[in-house]
Structure 1
Amino acid sequence: MKKKITTILIGLCSLFYPLTGTAQSTSFKTFMNPVIPGDHSDCTLTKVGDHFYTTGSSFNPTPVIYHSTDLIHWEAIAQPVSAAWSSYGDAPSGGCWGGQIVYYNNKYWDFFSRANAMHFVVADKPEGPWSMPVKVNNPSQLPFGLGYDNSVFIDNDGKWYLVVKNGQANNAIVELDTFGQPTGVVYNLAWLNPDNENHPYSWAEGPVMWKHNGYYYYSFAHDVSGGQKVMRSKTLTADKSAWTTPVDMFNENDPNKSTAIFGRPNHSSAAVELSDGTCWVVHPVWARANNNEWYGQGRQGLLNQVRYDSENNVVADYPVNMVKKAPLLPSGGIPFMVPKSDFFTTEKLNPEWSFWGYTKTSLVSLSDRPDWLRLTPKSLTKANTVIKTDAEHNYSLITRLDFKPDSTSDEAGIRIMNGLENLFAKIYSTINSKGEKIICFSFDQVHYEIENNIGNIVWLKLERNNHELTGFFSQDGVKWMPVGNKINVETLDRFTSNYNGWCGNRQGLYVQGTKYADFDLYIYRDAYSPILAECPANQYGTMKTVLSNGGALLDDIHNNDWALYAGVEFGNKNYNKKSGNISISASCATKGGKVEVWLDSIGTGKKIAICNIKNTGNLSNVKTFTAKTIPTTGRHDVYLKFVGENGDKLFALKDFVFTCK
């Protein structure tokens, strides 16, 4: 019998979705990290009633507030800081540092730092609208300013505090009044990481606080390279003798630590406690495995349980590559957090979209042309880009563009860019020096172009298969023509200097030059483009196998194992498609089994197909197996559940794709 606690070799895994009655779907009882793929730097965690909220540092992209009811499924609900705020700035590593949303005095507050000065915004509900930022005054009782990467702690007596960090030597706890300003009561913790002791905890940054069993817990990161410490006290005080000596927050003795994809955790949130007594943190970690191969995706959002012993010592689970038991909470119907399709039919831009730096409201419109997004360049030299996190290793981005370029500097299309804003992989419409319309596909020093004989309105597609991108264009979104050859973008995905501008890579739509561009839709994962089986958003029991020819398969598949592929777009009235079949490329050295195709969850969702996989001779001999699907439209999380005889390894999967009815 195969163990169901299994190590996975994929650099991106996490999961889940709804409850029916009191029964949790099989696909929601366990999870693998990350729960928020893509950049989620310096994240905090807040519980308000039965709801959870997280946000954090965004840097030049505008920040996002995420909401969850089960700590596994997260949805973007708000952009608390307006990109049109005149003080936002527009430079790599700038923007918003830190961030925490809390509920206090019948208002929602979001605190953050901009240019080393603390600010807050307020709203009546977490979705907003949010006020313009208000600066928090530096209290005269402290010999240093309020700094950055701070958090908020609300005590049982209703008093609330800003947990402060400014420079290596300066830590403090600052009481706030009902208006979000310092009361004058401060607790100076300058003894924690002093200059005269050569900063024993490096930067002692990103401090957070919580309370448990009568103790105050104060936790901080060693520095961004890794390490998290925690200390506790019975009283809230600046007296060093009242606090225990800081110790490791995460279980550094975990035997699987050395193989962890997400190693050296730091910048953890405060712990939140559920009604069943379990406690949890979210924290950001770079994927450091395979020589930092996917470092460019940024610090991804992980969830781990926190445990206390009989003496109130606290330790958090290390983020090892294991299937873990999920919190016993309802998902609320929230899908897994990957970028979602958008057809721009709403009055306001979905909060999942961020802006790249300061962006005037006049440069973005959903009303100038109904059901289209209009983007106008910021200047002759500055592009206007709306972005989502570049979170996964496999997807197919599609847009329909209406653009009439006047010069070779006019561009509009899809692009993926790094946080330093000096590497761009893009498929776009422009004209050449002869004034001829062309479609270009480029990255760094590689450039392909092809004549655009379609016109101003054209479909563009950018497919990612790990580090390889392929660009296409089309007249109708059905028949696609490649633009040049595949381009390897590993230099974009790997670690770069200066911590990639502190944030991860982003993907999205852009326009630059002199002319505005209209975008009709944005599809993240097209059902009718091949989906790599080796790249699930989450899984149970499976693992990746690399063949001798370099190809990769989803392997080690046994009865009742499953894999999740999130955010699959099947079509609607704006993307006129409907699935009729599924084709699965698989290999099998045994008698085989079945693949059940479920939408949104296993058991409580909708089963749309069953595909039989038969013997192909050996693992390297991949064949295609096809089954009819129930006609399907809309965007769904697709679960593949594997069924066969217990004990047997059933088959391995290369990829799958849906075809239209």
Structure 2
Amino acid sequence: MTLCKTLAGLAAGLLLATAVHSAPPTTPWKRGIEHQRQADLGNGTFLNPVLAGDHPDPSVLKDGEDYYLTLSSFDAYPGLPIWHSRDLVNWQPLGHAITRNVGAIWAPDIVKHQGRYFIYFPARTAEARSNFVVWADHIKGPWSEPIDIGLGGYIDPGHAVGEDGKRYLFLSGGAYVQLADDGLSVVGTPRHVYDGWKYPESWDVEAYAQEGPKINFRDGWYYMTTAVGGTAGPPTGHMVITARSRSIHGPWVNAPNNPIMRTQSASEPWWSRGHATVIEGTDGRWWMMYHGYENGYWTLGRQALLEPIEWTADGWFVAKGGDLGQPLRKPAGASVGAHGMALSDDFKGPALGAQWSFFNPAQDEYRRLDFSGDGLLLQGKGLTPRDASPLTAIAGDPAYQFEVEMEVGPGAVGGALLFYSDRLYAGVGSNGEAFVMHRYGEERPTRLAPSTKGGRLWLRVTNNRHIVTIHTSADGQTWQKYPVQMEVSGYHHNVAGKFLALKPALYAAGEGKVRFRHFRYRALD
């Protein structure tokens, strides 16, 4: 049976009538990478972002000549992705530090102490919030199971070692607490130590939101670099501030040039810039790595940005990158290889590719995966994308396209999506005989009945600067344009919350199975 038919009655959402033909794109597939926009310009300069797409709250560890980075992964599992670089511009993935779902993971901190690596992070479920730690003796793992260290009233733990040799976690709101010597539990209770820096009341910000403390030690001073102003909301809200103290216990004195950096105007190329880690380069130059939204593209999530800083004669630092709209001189250091990772996937197995994560998976979610045959065979779950734990990948381009071949088994529904959250997504699914349209996180028809036959088809999704078109094919050669187009510029945090990004996604629902083959991603001009 062919699926090359168009809709008869959009309310029903079934393909029953005459085809609407559209020629497939003639541009050949490129090698799909984590982001097509390369930061390294190849002439000794780079252009932000250094990690395009959803890479929020970056925490960077300098370990000799190597840099390791992790970030907020929220509801995506495996989570806490770890990246490796030697020049802060070209990054390669090393894997993930957590597979067991403990909730939405917010701003982590990656550190090394006495030869062991630690990642401290908060996680939130619908029922509770806490802070956790994972550890490993090698950066590539294996990583420990997450250890709950409590502190449910705080987020964004930042690790530090005091002049007394003891370990501490600095927390949101200006508190800190001592850690046990092994770093795996808390000693005592948090104590408030820092009131932050207050910006002028006339500034347009989301909220005060003092968070993300990161501690550096330089020339006899401890520096606490913090975010205030809220991570979203008005483009001018988020910012970087710093304070210093001779003792880890305070008192902390604010920098006279606070804020160190903020978006001054919505006309700038990067919005809501903030949440910085201060890093020393291998040549003595210093940098801040932080996140920001691309002007007009909240949907891509908060992207990782790199800015040079300079130290002043009185021991403070100033930002030197401007609005980040122009190329900057690269840090020293050799490249670790090709930047990013492939997004295109032939599903050859034997495991899920590094580009994929389940959305809010169950503890046994990985049992749904089967690579024993041709492609990925995915067991259905739930009835719709909202309860199917779709597989998602991070896109870093304002315009891109992806396609996939699907073999939908009896009793299953499979589809291709732009997925923000279980409340907000758009795309098309099929039971092998008819289609269901997903828009606004709703289904039309409200439910697609399972088929006893199933079927084979191809789906193509194009997101061209928020305008979404979908094509279908029965043979992968001749394509039909789906008769409904969508506009998704509002699929982002300021509308739906959760601090997420709009991602390419695949899902399998129902009691049957869906086999996916030949996922292809490419950026568009």
**What TM-score do the two structures reach when normalised by structure 1?**
0.63
Q: Deviations over 1:223-251 (max 9, x none)?
A: 323122101123322335xx345642434
Asked whether 1:263 is paired with 2:286, we answer no
Matches within 5 A, 1:372-387: 372-380=375-383, 382-387=387-392
The correspondence for 2:144, drawn from 106, 131, 142, is 131
Matches within 5 A, 1:580-595: none
RMSD (CA atoms): 3.3
Asked whether 1:43 is paired with 2:28, we answer no
The correspondence for 2:395, drawn from 390, 400, 421, is 390
Q: Distance in 2 between matches of 1:28 and 1:340?
A: 26
- 1:231 maps to 243
Q: Distance in 2 between matches of 1:159 and 1:308?
A: 28
The correspondence for 2:98, drawn from 81, 88, 96, is 81
- Quote how far apart the aligned CAs of 1:134 are: 0.7
Q: Deviations over 1:584-618 (max 9, x none)?
A: xxxxxxxxxxxxxxxxxxxxxxxxxxxxxxxxxxx
Q: Deviations over 1:324-379 (max 9, x none)?
A: 11212222213246x61122223222233222113333554554533522322343
After superposition, the Cα gap between the structure-2 partners of 1:111 and 1:356, relative to the gap in structure 1 and judged at 3 Å, is same
The correspondence for 1:327, drawn from 307, 318, 331, is 331
Secondary structure, counterpart of 1:37 in structure 2: coil
Q: Distance in 1 between matches of 2:406 and 2:85?
A: 33
- Quote how far apart the aligned CAs of 1:476 are: 4.0
- Quote how far apart the aligned CAs of 1:380 are: 4.3
Matches within 5 A, 1:468-547: 468-492=467-491, 496-498=494-496, 500-525=497-522, 531-532=524-525
Conserved 8 A contact 1:439-1:473: no
Matches within 5 A, 1:95-244: 95-115=104-124, 116-136=129-149, 147-154=154-161, 159-165=166-172, 168=173, 170-184=174-188, 188-193=191-196, 202-224=208-230, 225-240=237-252, 243-244=253-254
Show structure 1 runs of 4+ deviating over 6 A: 155-158, 445-449
Conserved 8 A contact 1:249-1:314: no
- Quote how far apart the aligned CAs of 1:416 are: 0.8
Matches within 5 A, 1:596-607: none
After superposition, the Cα gap between the structure-2 partners of 1:501 and 1:320, relative to the gap in structure 1 and judged at 3 Å, is same
Q: Distance in 2 between matches of 1:16 and 1:258?
A: 23
Q: Distance in 1 between matches of 2:355 and 2:160?
A: 27
Q: Distance in 2 between matches of 1:13 and 1:235?
A: 45
Matches within 5 A, 1:269-288: 269=277, 271-287=278-294
After superposition, the Cα gap between the structure-2 partners of 1:48 and 1:324, relative to the gap in structure 1 and judged at 3 Å, is same
Q: Distance in 2 between matches of 1:80 and 1:27?
A: 31
- 2:22 maps to none
Q: Distance in 2 between matches of 1:257 and 1:328?
A: 31
After superposition, the Cα gap between the structure-2 partners of 1:365 and 1:69, relative to the gap in structure 1 and judged at 3 Å, is farther
Q: Deviations over 1:252-296 (max 9, x none)?
A: 6x9x86631213422112x11122111112111123x3xxx3212
After superposition, the Cα gap between the structure-2 partners of 1:193 and 1:276, relative to the gap in structure 1 and judged at 3 Å, is closer
- 2:260 maps to 250
Q: Distance in 1 between matches of 2:360 and 2:85?
A: 27
- 2:48 maps to 33
After superposition, the Cα gap between the structure-2 partners of 1:463 and 1:56, relative to the gap in structure 1 and judged at 3 Å, is same
- 1:425 maps to 426
Q: Distance in 2 between matches of 1:127 and 1:440?
A: 42
After superposition, the Cα gap between the structure-2 partners of 1:13 and 1:159, relative to the gap in structure 1 and judged at 3 Å, is farther
After superposition, the Cα gap between the structure-2 partners of 1:312 and 1:16, relative to the gap in structure 1 and judged at 3 Å, is same
Point out the structure with max Rg over C-alpha. 1
Q: Distance in 1 between matches of 2:344 and 2:190?
A: 47
Q: Distance in 1 between matches of 2:519 and 2:76?
A: 19
Q: Distance in 2 between matches of 1:134 and 1:206?
A: 20
Asked whether 1:361 is paired with 2:373, we answer no
Q: Distance in 2 between matches of 1:427 and 1:192?
A: 50
- 1:458 maps to 457
Q: Distance in 2 between matches of 1:347 and 1:522?
A: 16
Matches within 5 A, 1:61-80: 61-62=76-77, 63=79, 64-80=81-97
Secondary structure, counterpart of 1:497 in structure 2: helix
Matches within 5 A, 1:294-305: 294-305=297-308
Secondary structure, counterpart of 2:52 in structure 1: strand
Conserved 8 A contact 2:155-2:171: yes
Conserved 8 A contact 2:91-2:336: no
Q: Deviations over 1:432-459 (max 9, x none)?
A: xxxxx0245543389699xx9x972322
Q: Deviations over 1:466-519 (max 9, x none)?
A: 122221223443333322254333333x66435x31222222211122222121
Conserved 8 A contact 2:132-2:148: yes
- Quote how far apart the aligned CAs of 1:38 are: 1.6
Q: Distance in 2 between matches of 1:36 and 1:357?
A: 23
Q: Distance in 1 between matches of 2:118 and 2:60?
A: 13
Number of residues of Structure 1 aligned to a counterpart in Structure 2: 463
The alignment-based identity, stated in percent, is 24
Q: Distance in 2 between matches of 1:266 and 1:423?
A: 26
Q: Distance in 2 between matches of 1:379 and 1:427?
A: 16
> For structure 2, which runs of at least 5 residues remain unmatched after alignment?
1-34, 202-206, 231-236
After superposition, the Cα gap between the structure-2 partners of 1:187 and 1:113, relative to the gap in structure 1 and judged at 3 Å, is closer
Q: Distance in 1 between matches of 2:326 and 2:36?
A: 10
After superposition, the Cα gap between the structure-2 partners of 1:257 and 1:497, relative to the gap in structure 1 and judged at 3 Å, is closer
> For structure 1, which runs of at least 5 residues remain unmatched after alignment?
1-11, 18-25, 90-94, 139-144, 432-436, 533-661
Conserved 8 A contact 1:469-1:488: yes
Which is bigger in relative contact order (C-alpha 8 A, separation at least 6)? 2
Q: Distance in 2 between matches of 1:233 and 1:75?
A: 35
Q: Distance in 2 between matches of 1:394 and 1:191?
A: 43
Conserved 8 A contact 1:75-1:334: yes
Conserved 8 A contact 2:471-2:482: yes
Q: Distance in 2 between matches of 1:156 and 1:414?
A: 54
